[in-house]
Structure 1
Amino acid sequence: MSKLFKIITLLVMAGVFTTSAFAHQQRAAITKVLFNKNTGNLEVMHRFYVHDTEHAVQMIFDKNADIISSKETQEQFAQYVADRFAIKPLNGPELKLDMVGYEIDRQFIWVYQEIKAPENIEGLTIIHNALRDIWVDQINTVNVEGRGELKTATFVGNIELLNVELDKE
């Protein structure tokens, strides 16, 4: 009986450790699209959890990829995000965002992009598939600010394209 109890205890403990290892993954990202009146730019700031990206880069690039210590991996991840995010005016061509940079700030990795804000824009069509190509439960939320009330677009499930109407200037 004692041997059976030890085996059951070991199996339960293994399950607890496995569950807690996966519990830290948030599989959620926030992106802020800001119409900055001071600079005249449309600024895009993507925020991902470092813990999520640690797992993701090893799946996407290389099992030895290191998002925390490797500038090369950080740069690869920033480009990966830029390649999977697109934004355009409702009735216009895609905006070719410039990569501004990236940084790790505590538990987050940030990726920054920008472009001169288009004039007379009534709304945006947005695509945000970063990490959604590897995790079906990844949720990417985009907040659009600087043109009236905050507008939010949430990419979940099979949603690949969302429109946001902007307040008149």
Structure 2
Amino acid sequence: MLMAQLAAAHQIKAAITTVLFNTHTQNIEVMHRFNLHDAEHAVKALFDKKADILGDDKTQQQFADYVAARFELLDANGAPLQLKSVGYEIEGKFFWVYQETAEPPNLQGLTIRHNALRDLWPAQINTLNVEGHGDIKTLTFRDNVELLSVEFDAQH
């Protein structure tokens, strides 16, 4: 019974992303965390059956580029913020992808698209936390949800 529960628990396709407003650098930092097991399966389906995310830097870069292409931050007027890649790493059982951009002045809110792995697995759930700009706000991308938005209080 326990093994069945563990197997079922591993079948959940989910990723966590943090969008952090860093007051020290005045940047918006984006940190995507994927289960390494899911990333291993994804690269084989997306790129090549022999793709090796653990041992091949090229595959790691391809996966990071794939994530970046499916993630977008838009300002309150719908203009995209230009995110740049900061890097990626394997840490324990996770694959991390990092991006950042300068925080625009007078940012009143964000509209976000987060489709990483959702084209591969329709049941994929991408949870996103916005931190450092008022209360933490959590968005959940699942099913047919393409865009979600957060608004910021005027005093932040």
TM-score category by the smaller chain? over 0.9
CA–CA distance in 2 between the matches of 1:18 and 1:161?
35
RMSD: 1.7
- Is 1:115 the equivalent of 2:96? no
CA–CA distance in 2 between the matches of 1:25 and 1:104?
20
CA–CA distance in 1 between the matches of 2:92 and 2:13?
17
1:162 to 140, 148, 151: 148
Flag structure 1 segments of 5+ consecutive residues without an equivalent: 1-16
TM-score (norm 1): 0.86
CA–CA distance in 2 between the matches of 1:162 and 1:92?
12
Q: What letter corresponds to residue 100 of structure 2 in structure 1? A: E
Structure with bigger gyration radius: 1
Greater helix content: 1
What is the CA distance between 1:165 and its match in structure 2?
A: 1.1
Distance 1:122 1:34, change over 3 A: same
1:90 to 76, 88, 94: 76
State how 1:9-158 maps to structure 2 within 5 Å: 24-158=10-144
Larger relative contact order (CA 8 Å, sep ≥ 6): 2
Q: Equivalent residue of 2:123, what SS?
A: coil
CA–CA distance in 2 between the matches of 1:21 and 1:56?
18
| 1:79-125 CA-partner distances (Å, limit 9, x unpaired) | 00000000011114101101000000000000000011011111100
CA–CA distance in 2 between the matches of 1:49 and 1:56?
11
- Whether the 8 Å contact between 1:26 and 1:49 is mirrored in structure 2 is no
Runs of 4+ in 1 over 2 A off after TM superposition: 17-26
- Whether the 8 Å contact between 2:31 and 2:98 is mirrored in structure 1 is yes
CA–CA distance in 2 between the matches of 1:21 and 1:65?
24
CA–CA distance in 2 between the matches of 1:62 and 1:167?
46
Percent identity between the aligned chains?
59
Distance 1:60 1:22, change over 3 A: farther
